[in-house]
Amino acid sequence: MAEATGGNRSRLAKSMFTIGIVAFVLLPIGALGTKFGIWGFGFGFQLLFGGAILAAIGLVGGIVALILAVKRERPVDRQPVMLGLFGSLLVLVVMGLQFATAVSVPPIHNISTDTFDPPRFVDVDRGENSNPLEYTREIASQQREAYPDLSTHLTETDVDASFDRAVSIAEDLGWEVFSEARGDYRIEATASTFWFGFKDDIVIRIRQSGTGAIVDLRSVSRVGQSDLGANARRIGQFIERFEALGG
């Protein structure tokens, strides 16, 4: 039988194309809708998981549709099926990477360089439904096991210069600095995640040590049980920049 080069696309090919595209679109819609306050993060997550389920269906169905398109010599079906497969596969890769990250870190969202005496928030307004700020022994134990290199930073820079440097770094990192308490060398700020716009609060505490200073940070997510390592990465980025500017 001669290979068909035209004709209408099959219902299966159209369905797999639609499923793949919808699954792909649900990822940014779920995240950005949450970020801009159109819906809560719970519904945003539901859209993400709905996209993942559709992607799984699209992957299996797309493979079947592609096999049938080849077997029945229907090139008109191949392009939409392959586009749908690409969309579904991309969604599953993204969600798979997120899942892998989630299982590789402890389910905590409260991270401090000083696990025995974490810096305290004073001026932050986290809202009624935010995660509590209590830093327990269990959290400290999980953090030390997961992030053993995260610790207090010692610098030869004096406290005033360290304070100014810390404010500058926080602003350069895109944090919203809302409190600069020079009297007790405390800085408070808020960082927002790119996609969902989740708010994480940060407090920087600077103490004198001889002619130098001791710098501690704490970063706490307002919502969610696990931060997927975001707070630890944020603190690590700050310390790296602090060291790069003079130790």
DSSP letters spanning 91-135 = HHHHHHHHHHHHHHS-S--EEES-SSSPPPPSS----TTSPP---
171 in any annotated domain? yes
- Give yes or no: residues 65 and 120 share one domain: no
Q: Identify whether residues 175 and 65 lie together within a single domain.
A: no
Judge contact between 105 and 226, C-beta under 8 A.
yes
Q: Are residues 234 and 137 in the same domain?
A: yes
Does residue 6 sit within a domain? no
Q: Are residues 120 and 90 in the same domain?
A: no
Do the bridges between strand 110-112 and strand 153-155 make them parallel or antiparallel, or are there none, so unpaired?
Answer: unpaired
Number of other residues whose CB lies within 10 A of the CB of residue 80: 23
Domain assignment of residue 221, yes or no: yes
What's the pLDDT at 7?
A: 65
> Is 3 part of a structural domain of the chain?
no
- The domain of 66 spans 11-104
Q: Does residue 2 form part of some domain?
A: no
Q: 222: closest CA among 203, 199, 202?
A: 199
Structure tokens at 83: 């586009």
H-run or E-run covering 176: strand 176-181
Residue 230 lies in a domain: yes
Q: Two tokens at 18?
A: 């639609």
pLDDT < 50 stretches in the chain: 1-5
**What's the start-to-end Cα distance of the chain, in Å?**
75
CATH code for position 186 = 3.30.530.50
d(CA 109, CA 57): 33
DSSP tally for the chain: helices H, then strands E = 6, 6
Helix 41-71 crosses helix 75-104 at what angle (to 10 degrees)? 140
pLDDT of residue 245: 93
Q: Which residues, in sequence order, are CB contacts of 48 under 8 Å at separation 6+?
A: 26, 27, 30, 31, 95
Same domain, 115 and 228: yes
Establish if 4 belongs to a structural domain. Answer: no
The total of structural domains in the chain comes to 2
User: Do 117 and 213 sit in the same domain of this protein?
Assistant: yes
Q: Are residues 165 and 239 in the same domain?
A: yes
* Contact criterion met (CB below 8 Å) for 187 and 179: yes
CA distance 61 to 15: 9
Residues 39 and 141 reside in one and the same domain = no
Task: State whether 60 and 120 are in the same domain.
Answer: no
CA distance 111 to 217: 8
Shared domain for 83 and 153, answered yes or no, is no
